[in-house]
Amino acid sequence: MADCIFCQIVARQAPADIMWENDTVIAFRNIAPKRQIHHLIVPKQHIASLDETVANQQAVLGQLLLVARELSQDSAIQEDGYEVVINGGARIEVPHLHLHLLAGQPTGTEVGR
């Protein structure tokens, strides 16, 4: 979708600090972090929200969680703990399914609270 910032990042039409990528998923640092570590994990295919997913998207949904696990290992945050948040309904700022990987001290208002 042309007006979706995450689709623009996927298409390299908007800047992002990309940390991880494959054919299905891209992960990058949030430009307005709520915690010391705040990464966004996004499917490359535009899916408006978790409510819009269908059964044949199980693989991409699983990939999102596996990337969260891998980034938590790469960031050495597993020992101190981390959160994975999927916002829904009115909490969605960008209408493109995404996970927040959060760790460390708050920098402002918590996501999903």
Any idea what the CATH number is for the domain that residue 90 is in?
A: 3.30.428.10
Give the pLDDT score at 113.
45
Domain that holds residue 58: 5-106
Q: Supply the residues annotated as catalytic.
A: 98
68 falls within a domain: yes
Say yes or no to pLDDT of 78 above 90: no
pLDDT of 112 > 70? The answer is no
Helical residues (DSSP H) of the chain, grouped into ranges: 5-10, 58-74
Task: Provide the pLDDT confidence category of residue 102 given band limits of 50, 70 and 90.
Answer: very high
Region 74-90 average pLDDT: 84
Task: Please give the biggest Cα pair distance in the chain.
Answer: 40
Give the C-alpha separation, 48 to 75, whole Å.
Answer: 28
Long-range contacts of 87-90 (CB under 8 A, 24+ apart): 87/111, 87/112, 88/49, 88/50, 88/51
Structural domain total, the chain: 1
Q: C-alpha angle with apex 14: 10 to 19, nearest 5 degrees?
A: 55
* pLDDT of 111 higher than 70: no
Task: Evaluate whether residue 111 is within a structural domain.
Answer: no
70 found inside a domain: yes
Helix (H) or strand (E) holding 83: strand 83-85
**pLDDT tens, residue by residue, 11-70:** 999 999 999 999 999 999 999 999 999 999 999 999 999 999 999 999 999 999 999 999
Structural domain includes residue 60: yes
Q: Is residue 10 in some structural domain?
A: yes
- Report whether 46 contacts 26 (CB < 8 A): no
Query: Does residue 27 fall inside a structural domain?
Result: yes
